[in-house]
Amino acid sequence: MQLPPLFTEYTRALLGEEEYNSLATALLEAEQPVSIRVNAQKCTDSSSVISHSSLNKVPWAERGFYLNQRPAFTFDPLFHAGCYYVQEASSMFVEQALKRYLPGRPLAALDLCAAPGGKSTHVRSLLPDGSLLVANEVIRNRAQILAENLTKWGHPDVVVTNSDPSDFTPLEHLFDFILTDVPCSGEGMFRKDETAISEWSAENVEICWQRQRRILTDIWPCLKPGGLLVYSTCTYNTKENEENVRWLCRELGAEVLPLDVPAEWGITGNLLVGEDFPVYRFLPHKTQGEGFFLAVLRKAGEAEETASEDISMMQTGRMNADRQSAGKQRGKKGNGGKASSGSAFGKEQLAMVQGWLRDAEGYTLMPEGQTLAAFPTAWLPLLTVLKQHVKVMQAGVEVAGVKGKDCIPAHALAMSSLLRQDAFACEEVDYPTAIAYLRKEAVVLSDTAPRGFVLLTYRGFPLGFVKNIGNRANNLYPQEWRIRSSYVPEQPETLGNEE
């Protein structure tokens, strides 16, 4: 593997001879670190997921851990249960910005370029209680992967959209926080993905920094006055990094905010000659992770201290109609109410589904065709406005479906923190049965397992539902998520080395 000559020339001039040589050695010769982030909502104790207590923590992420080696994550049922996310360590630094600057009240947040979902699941874990996250991805198949990963993560207060950033522009002053992890030339991925090297060119760098400014221009109106925007890339050059931050300040009036970064973390600062505003660079010869850049910016003006459900400051011209529409939704689909006209769900089925949910009083049941979703009632006005401008793929949590006379619990419910686990018969399964279930194969339960819908658990964590008919159990795991490999591990995959 060789680094592109023009990249070498530019980066040597940027870093200096000695620094560049250390970087090149790290990119060409050093092993890639493997890191995960544990889902605190599902695992209050990380030891329930990680088998070796002496694993090193990612210093800038409370729930981040480096692994000693890369296991076959595909064959770890806890991975499919959403107990952790495999995420590059440097990108977990987003946590520092949220912990330092986000207020403690409920917020509307947007992850604009969100697939595959590492930062979205992280942001969702860090937002104050009662907040809503909108996770967007412009490419359809990547948006589907994003939706899958957020579903497994299990937080109910999420919307997944599939739109161009320009579609958000009319939603003026809608979000308190926006993360823009923008598409870039990918220099920071050279060690992780050799394709990034073959696709790199100076021309692409030019295309990228211009595209990034277009994205920022499109989304800036959506940020509330006093709101926070995090700008990040996985590249090294200043055109896509410091120069774009400087442009944000000069053209859009952004203020760059500092973070508290201990020297021992090895994070590099501003490399743009003549500028000293605070930015944060991860270079793989100095930090245990891949290349990453981050800046924290604030929009001018006073932060709005409104409640999460009050979006009256939005300048869409449709607010009154939106609130009326949301009120009608509550009447038709609200908790314990009748299904809307044409719904496949009757009053008794809605009441039964409510019994499957924790904190059901805070959620509205929304039938759509043969499925039923639960969405936080407080954010219905925002969802109504979103649907007028962007393509909403998923809102809240799908909790049930209808097939014949059966009201079937949805797999997303099994993954969600809304699940009332005691509403279902549960069956703890061993490792071979868990893998068979994740392959979408028929499974056989114990003789004591009751008939009907049963929640399977592995090491105490929900895996999903089956319908037990006695001699076998019909597998309700999503067909499109199944493990396709025929490989059978001899023993369960574990995170860390056993001693």
Q: Which two three-digit tokens encode residue 422?
A: 């005691």
Q: Distance of CA 469 to CAs 51, 100, 451, 476, Å?
A: 36, 53, 6, 13
As a residue count, the chain comes to: 499
pLDDT for the residue numbered 470: 84
Q: Are strands 158-161 and 132-136 parallel, antiparallel or unpaired?
A: parallel
Residue 395 has pLDDT above 90, yes or no: yes
482-493 pLDDT per residue, tens: 999 988 777 787
Residue 333 has pLDDT above 80, yes or no: no
Banded model confidence at residue 330, pLDDT cuts 50, 70, 90: very low
CA contacts within 13 A on the Cβ side of 169:
9
Residue 317 has pLDDT above 50, yes or no: no
Point out the catalytic residue in the list 208, 234, 407, 426.
Answer: 234
At 173 the three-state DSSP class reads coil
Q: How far apart are CA 298 and CA 318, in angstroms?
A: 27
401-446 pLDDT per residue, tens: 998 888 999 999 999 999 999 999 999 999 999 999 999 999 999 8
Q: Can you list the alpha helix ranges (DSSP code H) found in 115-253? A: 118-126, 140-153, 165-168, 194-199, 202-219, 242-252
Query: What percent of the chain stands above pLDDT 90?
Result: 81
- Identify which of 165, 177, 111 has the alpha carbon closest to the alpha carbon of residue 138: 165
Look at the pTM and tell me if it is higher than 0.85: yes
H or E, element range at 332 = helix 319-333
Query: What is the rounded average pLDDT for all residues in the chain?
Result: 91
Contact 155, 417 (CB under 8 A): yes
pLDDT for the residue numbered 497: 53
Active site residue 234: yes
223-273 pLDDT per residue, tens: 999 999 999 999 999 999 999 999 999 999 999 999 999 999 999 999 999
107-139 pLDDT per residue, tens: 999 999 999 999 999 999 999 999 999 999 999
φ, ψ (nearest 5 deg) of residue 211: -60, -40
